[in-house]
A and B are shown apart, each in its own frame.
Chain A
Amino acid sequence: MSALDTASAPVGRSDPGIGRPLARFSGFWKWLGVLPFFLFCALFLLAPIVTLTDGAFRAADGGYTLDNILALSSPNIVASYSLSIRLSLVSAALGTVTGLLLAYAIILGGLPAWVRPVFLTFSGVASNFAGVPLAFAFIATLGRLGLVTIVLREVFGFNLYATGFNLFSFWGLALTYLYFQMPLMLLVITPAMDGIRREWREAAESLGATRRQYWTMVALPLITPSVLGCFLLLFANAFGTLATVYALTGSNYSVVPIVLFQQIRGNVLYNPNLGYALALGMVAIMVVSNVLYMILRMRAERWHK
């Protein structure tokens, strides 16, 4: 790069017009590596948002209308948003807490060295295990006739379903989500956990702090921004989940993606423009949670540049 610049400098001095294209060319090369990213963003992030924003404000005949947006306030759609948000919040919270504890145990718990790679590898697989196979796996284990349910009943005399547990319920769904949420949390929080230095704990303990005081006063504040970020990621992950819910509960649990799915694929409820509006609502929720996250993060990280 600098060789190019030097070579072009004398020419540039006598005639500024000649050196320029070369410089611009080298400037272009600098950006070449990230070009696919921008292309990708434009094609699969910006373009869809533009399309669905436009579609959300159009009627079936192509004219502009506010009907779709107004339809979002109809009771069953409000209910589906509410269900989606609650389910995502609960499963993200469960995933965050359990994943955090798991990460603590694996990274700072003094377990043998081989434990960590085993868990991380397994988590890499499990965090991507969703949809129909996951739903089937849970039905086969914790369904009414699932293996675990039967073993509990026959061997231990414990009737799981008599306790009010139902795999095809809100909490059953949350539990199923946990299967990929917890490993995902483990994967994304591991770097932050690795960043916690042993000296901090030792400094705190030598100053009289208990393990608990060290965690509440030093370690947790330090990883809070990362934990918030991971929580948001888990929230988004759950919010977009369609196949797992559908396979598990059919359309009994109308989370937003299912309602949306019905609008664009269904026969009875076919209304793609309402589907656009629903998707726009999801985008809005993601934007709000991201902004919230950034504000929280800035406040939590005021000790950083």
Chain B
Amino acid sequence: MISLQNINKVYRTKTIETLALNEINLEVSEGEFLSIMGPSGCGKSTLLNIIGLIDEPSSGNITIANQTVNGYNSKDMAHFRNEKLGFIFQSFHLINDLSVIDNVELPLLYRKSVSASERRRLAEEALLKVGLKNRMSHFPAQLSGGQKQRVAIARAIVGKPNIILADEPTGNLDSAMGNEIMNILLQLNQEEKTTIVMVTHDESMARKTNRLVRLFDGAQVS
């Protein structure tokens, strides 16, 4: 499903050159739930962003869902993200001006040939899966952190993507709420066979996944 070959990422500023990722080779098979761990600043987010095509590597090859994405232009990449990928962020990133249902519908807005009623139906379905259908017309400010993250999950799955990328999805939540989110992700992985790559700081969360990759200073250590 995901294949990374010799990925390097270098950040250059005037004073310093950071090697954020160093010769990463990674294979993730279809339906796998992979977690990535490592100390702060070791390059976890950078790696996830590169898999998610919202950041480009300095060198290396990426193949996702049997498509080599090197050489995609920004429009192709936007299209690809829209069809195949779903994102969950540590700080939720819901749009405060929009209601819950409108937030969930968002990815479908950029997909041609989805009618308004179809968008609505899919969004309601996604909200049902995360148990928030009754909060449809609330605004993000009226929700708890755990509820916000569940809305974010609904948004990530509404377009039925092949891969979900989650960067510390439980990082801002207490352990009870974190477990709730983790259970939703596990269920998604088992029932829908969605491939999930998750960055986490929590060993107990990581243990529930199929495989654990550890990074240290931009390099894969296990």
A binds B: no
Residues of B within 8 A of A (CB): none
